[in-house]
Structure 1
Amino acid sequence: MATNKELLSKGIKYLAGALPLLFIGPSLIYNAFINKQNVWHYLVLGIGILTCLSAVYLMILGLKTMMRSLFND
């Protein structure tokens, strides 16, 4: 059972892309809730939620790709 190195590196790249989004998303949501008096409150909140959802999506995609590279379905 050999490991497909190209797929493994692709999965690691997906996980590396999700890592900064895991920190940026919650900080944007926190910033939106702190600045409720600002006009841009809902826009910043929406961007924060989309950032968190994209981080989760990239993590799932990266783990799925890594499992496919390790176990050769």
Structure 2
Amino acid sequence: METKRTNKKILVDGIKKMAISLGLMFLGPSLIHIAFTNTEKPLYIPLLILGIVVCGLAIFFAFRGLKTIMDSMFND
């Protein structure tokens, strides 16, 4: 009888994606806050757009990381 084991290589890949997501989770709101505190500056709109994109990437990497971790545990 074969026991199911976690694929460590895929698990490490998922943890790396979650670490990227964690970094982006701090960077995105920081950029948005900087943009809103400097509304008179010419970089207001580009910083705001960049912050929103970074927040979207944080969500994307979080879902991909969780899916990869689940795949490492439950795939055949």
Shorter-normalised TM-score: what interval? Answer: over 0.9
TM-score by length of 1: 0.95
Larger Rg: 2
1:59 matches 2:62: yes
- What residue is the counterpart of 1:27 in the other structure? 30
TM-score (norm 2): 0.91
Q: Deviations along 1:32-63, whole A, 9 cap, x unmatched?
A: 11111011100000010011111110110000
Q: For residue 67 of structure 2, what is the amino acid of its counterpart?
A: K
- Whole-Å separation in 2 of the counterparts to 1:41 and 1:9: 38
- The count of aligned residue pairs is 73
Identity of aligned residues (%): 45
Unaligned runs of 5+ in 2: none
Q: Which secondary structure state, in structure 1, belongs to the residue aligned with residue 39 of structure 2?
A: coil
Is 1:11 equivalent to 2:27 in the alignment?
no
Return 5+ residue gaps in structure 1 as ranges.
Answer: none
For 1:7, the aligned partner's letter is I
RMSD of the TM alignment (CA)?
0.9
Q: CA deviation at 1:18?
A: 1.1
Q: Distance in 2 between matches of 1:36 and 1:8?
A: 43
